[in-house]
Structure 1
Amino acid sequence: MQKLWRNRQLRNLSLQAMALAGLAAILGFAGFNAVTNLQNSGVTSGFGFLSERAGYDINFSLVDYSSRTATLTYAWLVGTLNTVFFAAVTIVTATLCGLALAMARLSPNWLLSVTSRVALEYLRNVPVLVHIFIWYGIFLALPSVRQAIPVFDIAFLSNRGFVMPAVHWQYGPLATLIFVALALGLLAAIRRRLHRRARSLRLLAGISALAALIFAATLVSGAPVSFTYPELEGFGFTGGMVLPPEFLVMWVAVTVYFSTHCAEVIRGAVMAVPKGQAEAAQALGARRRIVMLEVVIPQALRAIVPPMTSNYINILKAAALGTAIGFLDVMGTTGGSTLNITGQAIECIAIVMTTYMVLNLALSAVMGKVNKAVQIKER
């Protein structure tokens, strides 16, 4: 026995097996205890409640939703789409704002550099939930619908949200998807064929091909495109698309907060690039903007992508904070309203946890591919 115990590999496996068995026993006891308590309380377990009628409204939805006909499963889908849409637009805006702040922080202009540094230090050290409440108060102080702030007379901003023109497109699914796929394939082929220096020509040709094929798809598939513009009638607007204040607050607040973190990541990565690279490009007569875009940033990407992945995952998870002001993502729908209506706490939280896990793993996988693409290719 002592001889077996002296075997380090066998000893490590035995300890891990005992730890795993202990964890399984604890989880089994907790599960049995939970099921027993639920049965004693008259609460049935299972996911059959998802087929019941939702019965509650969702103030922002990317798809048609009616509380009278929608099921709890459909409410979960709407909440998940809200989470994905919020994360997608916020990741884009936070990255762009972070890039601008980082460039300002690195600027040789003393006033611009100091101002951006003060803004970064202040905004970064204020909790994101405080940002949300501050911006919510600002949006509630906006004019009412009748005194809405016009934006080029086709969109309006008020304390009820942002109303803008809406596009109505009755898709012919198969033909549209085929032409969009062909357009993307053609765009990729053009990017490979054209010379690297011909950026403007490559971009123009790619956009033209993409637009032409998508337009052809609308004609072939018989998909008419129409626009509706918002018009003030009574106490509200008719027509157009409405972005409610809850979504706008979340978008602006989370963008402002995480743009500071993105800015620090970008600034650190740029400073990690050897100065000789930029000095050599400047010695050849390249302007600072060209040096930054063509020489420094491409090399800094290798250091930017890994920590930026963490920021993007945090942005995705920050969508759950929207429940504080009434923005219903998957946490607000399934983890909030559905849980309160049905009382199925374990099932609802399990669904929310699984949803966030799948979304985070998918985002991590995408960023892993991006990280692999920007690394130095060695022969």
Structure 2
Amino acid sequence: MQFTSTQKRTAAWCLIAALVMLALWLLGPVLTPFVVGAVLAYVLTPVVNWLDGLGRGRMPRVLAVLIVETLFILILLSILLLVVPIFAKELPLLREQLPLLADRVNNALGPWLAQFGITVSLDVASIKAFVVKYLSANFEDAFGSVLSSLKLGGSVALAIVGNAVLIPVALFFLLKDWDRFVALLLELVPPKLRAAFDRFMDEADTVLGQYLRGQLLVMGVLAVYFSVALALFGFDLAVPVGVFTGLAFFIPYLGFGLGLLLAFMAGVLQFGGLYGVLVVAGVYGAGQLVESFYLTPRLVGERIGLHPLAVIFALLAFGQLFGFLGVLIALPASAVLLVAIRRMRASYMLSKLYQG
């Protein structure tokens, strides 16, 4: 059986894609800092190039890289510092309010459920013991708990510290030598395939740029929504909690969970009752529905040409296969795969036309 050149190229690209997927699956934890660094370098390289061009050759590229990376790290730290005051201010209050809230829930729901033959009784004493144990203001005990957890899960702690060090280092070298790395990769492409490869990469670059712009739009809209919605219901920490939640949506699910936790804390501590819990549940539930079924499919999915169901499937499938790394690369990788599938389909239809 004879294979056409188109079929051979398709088989070669499929083999390369399979090898890449296998490498991600086997080496996911090891590759995480480098993949994150590469994604960040892809995003920040245009800024470095712009700053480098602004200096018109008088500014060393290393200096431009240091400026951009330092500003990026400062922005990340600023976002993280939005959360620190919330915990510092509210954890001691949370220790006092949670038992009272459990007592109120018990007194309110117990008699009402008893009318239907349902007996529910919260063990307030156990809740108080749990709160005192895990939310104690005694920093010596807290420090001891941290040390014991680090001993038990040393590999996890080491991985976190290692990634925190490796990602900035990898980002620095990738930004500094981005053009050289790209040139080395291009040398691996056979001359016969160079023109087709360049066209493919140009189209993939366009799709990825649209993805990033769409994701930034989603984050901005959600940051405004959560801040305004919480402020309308009288939350004192509406702006920091809302901005953090919106920006954290860059990491699907995890960002929403952290924002929801902070909002619940703020609501319970400020209002001391079910009002704060119900408001947070309503605001965040509506926000999650709007984000999942409208914002992400419309602003991100449509920009990269993916159906809303394909967006949801990509997040779940990549997360299942590659864990946290898969969630990070799900939509960008799907965008590149979409370009590949489009080209394979076009080549197939063209070959059918010639055969007919």
TM (norm. structure 1) is 0.30
Q: With structure 2 as the length reference, what TM-score do the two structures score?
A: 0.32
More strand by share: 1
Q: Which has the higher helix share?
A: 2
